Amino acid sequence: MIGDAQTITGYFERAQVAKTMVDDGRWSEAGDLLRQLLTDVRSYKISTSNREDVESKNVSKLFFLHYMSFLQAFLKALEASMKLVLQNARDEDELHDAMTRQSGSPEPPADPDVWSKPSPPLPTSSKYNAKKGGTVPKTQPSKSASSAASYAPSAADTKPANPSQGILPPNSAGESFDASSYDSYIVQAVRGTMATQTENTMSLDDIIGMHDVKQVLHEAVTLPLLVPEFFRGLRSPWKAMVLAGPPGTGKTLIARAIASESSSTFFTVSSTDLSSKWRGDSEKIVRLLFELARFYAPSIIFIDEIDTLGGQRGNSGEHEASRRVKSEFLVQMDGAQHKFDERRVFVLAATNIPWELDEALRRRFEKRIFIPLPDLDARKKLIETSMMGTPQSNEINYDELAAKTEGFSGADVVSLCRTAAINVLRRYDTKSLRGGELTAAMESLKTEPVRNCDFEAALQAVSSSVDPDTMLKCKEWCDSFGAM
């Protein structure tokens, strides 16, 4: 048993070392260590030499199995996350190499700040959703599309006839997008990061509260698709809307829900990505984003943190590159609003600091809506919904709990419930349990109801993440410029 325990502890220590390597960006070393560790874990056999009797053998076996399965799951998760990070790092390198080759010289950035601050890794997977009247097939990037060659055109093949081939799926009419005026790495960038589409089956009913916002979105996005003949002339549908409110109030959630409910293609992009990721190519990316949105219409382009893109123009701190991206964005918004009425593109943006918005951009968002913190009813419903499926005691008074969470955002309320659900564990001394005892205790804890005391403890640990001053400023901006 002692030998087994020592070996297992050793595995944990090596796994921790591998994780540190991943955190430090030492991918290759971490990969080697993980591979070796996995081999060792798989081939490890429990020793029986130091077992005295059958009972102790069984206990140690259970203990062993419990930890081995935990360790294997941990290693697998670590390996998967490392692969993802590696892929992102490789994509960024290839993208950068391709751009350098393209321009013929290695950078000297005109905008050093923009170049030197890398954005966090962007999502790489992207799937196309079912659209009205047909299903857009999921993209299966071809071998060449996903390889370095697709990012970095070779001398012999600088520009393929249609770089979207193998990268972009046909639209619902079966047409292929002609991306011949774009380099394939730009198409890949938009396809892989900005054109990520929702696969969710969310509905507006999943959003708690926000009745007015849901109504406006229903009128602006869903109804014009269902009864286009009504939305003519003076009734032509709204084209752009900005949601302003504190963090964690469900702005992103509502964007996803309306895209899903209206069966629209969903493009989601953070403006930080646009303004800093691909210096010099950002304008092209914005252009392609809008072109693709029209091609796969009906579409919703969701821009998170629009303030980053649409900050006050002419500010001394504003970089030339950011200015160009913003100008392109304004041009594209106008294009989306006038020329392609039959190809519905709805631009939805979100911000926590609306007062930072450029005036020109603000005007283009015809609807400017304040997303408040959830009220008492909404908080109660959020608690009830979050707790659904988790055993809970009848003693819990949701009205009282809702009253105690005044000032919480929706995300804070969800966090409170999660903390309370986990607090069940703290009522028991699981630290002293081992092997079969621990397994049995955990099994019975699954059905142990969450009690008032768990919520009380959670309320000590979780508080509102919203700064009241920022929230007030947000509300004041909406009172001055808002339009429901």
Ligand X SMILES: Nc1ncnc2c1ncn2[C@@H]1O[C@H](COP(=O)(O)OP(=O)(O)OP(=O)(O)O)[C@@H](O)[C@H]1O
Binding site for ligand X (CB under 6 A): 207-210, 247-253, 304, 350, 352, 382, 410-411, 414
Q: Which is nearer to ligand X, 86 or 411 (CB)?
A: 411
Rama region for 183: left / alpha / beta (φ>0; ψ in -120 to 50; rest)? beta
Say if residue 391 carries a ligand binding annotation: no
Separation between Cα atoms, residue 106 and residue 93, nearest integer Å: 13
Least distance (Å) between residue 386 CB and ligand X: 8
With beta carbons less than 8 A apart as the criterion, state whether 51 and 57 touch: yes
Say if residue 196 carries a ligand binding annotation: no
**DSSP assignment, residue 181?**
T
Least distance (Å) between residue 124 CB and ligand X: 20
Q: Is 144 exposed, middle or buried (0-12, 13-18, 19+ CB in 10 A)?
A: middle
Least distance (Å) between residue 120 CB and ligand X: 14
Least distance (Å) between residue 44 CB and ligand X: 40
Mapping DSSP to helix (H, G, I), strand (E, B) and coil, where does residue 314 land?
coil
Least distance (Å) between residue 308 CB and ligand X: 12
Residues 6+ away with beta carbon under 8 Å from 36: none
Say if residue 248 carries a ligand binding annotation: yes
With beta carbons less than 8 A apart as the criterion, state whether 221 and 258 touch: yes
Least distance (Å) between residue 372 CB and ligand X: 10
Q: Which is nearer to ligand X, 207 or 220 (CB)?
A: 207
Nearest to 39 by CA among 75, 83, 9: 75
Joined tokens for residue 346: 């709805």
Instruction: Number of helices (H) and strands (E) in the chain: give both, helices first.
Output: 21, 7
Say if residue 123 carries a ligand binding annotation: no
Residues 89, 94, 96, 102, Cα dihedral to 10°: -170
Q: Where are the beta strands (DSSP E) in 310-461?
A: 345-351, 367-370
Q: Which is nearer to ligand X, 197 or 409 (CB)?
A: 409
Q: Which residues pair with 450 in a beta bridge?
A: 392
Nearest to 258 by CA among 191, 346, 343, 337: 346
Say if residue 249 carries a ligand binding annotation: yes
Least distance (Å) between residue 305 CB and ligand X: 8
Q: Which is nearer to ligand X, 334 or 377 (CB)?
A: 377
Cis upstream peptide for 298 (omega within 30°): yes
Q: Which residue is nearest to ligand X (CB)?
A: 410
Give ∠ CA 363-368-370 in degrees, rounded to 5. 150
Q: Which is nearer to ligand X, 64 or 477 (CB)?
A: 477
Say if residue 250 carries a ligand binding annotation: yes
Q: Which is nearer to ligand X, 179 or 254 (CB)?
A: 254
Nearest to 248 by CA among 383, 366, 411, 91: 411
Q: Which is nearer to ligand X, 411 or 438 (CB)?
A: 411
Phi, psi of 371 (to 5 degrees): -105, 105
Least distance (Å) between residue 382 CB and ligand X: 6
Q: Which is nearer to ligand X, 291 or 305 (CB)?
A: 305
Joined tokens for residue 265: 């293609």
Separation between Cα atoms, residue 414 and residue 182, nearest integer Å: 43
Least distance (Å) between residue 304 CB and ligand X: 6
Q: Which is nearer to ligand X, 202 or 331 (CB)?
A: 202
Task: Give the strand order in the sheet containing 299-304.
Answer: 265-270, 299-304, 345-351, 240-244, 367-370
Residue set of the binding site:
245-252
Residue set of the binding site for ATP:
245-252
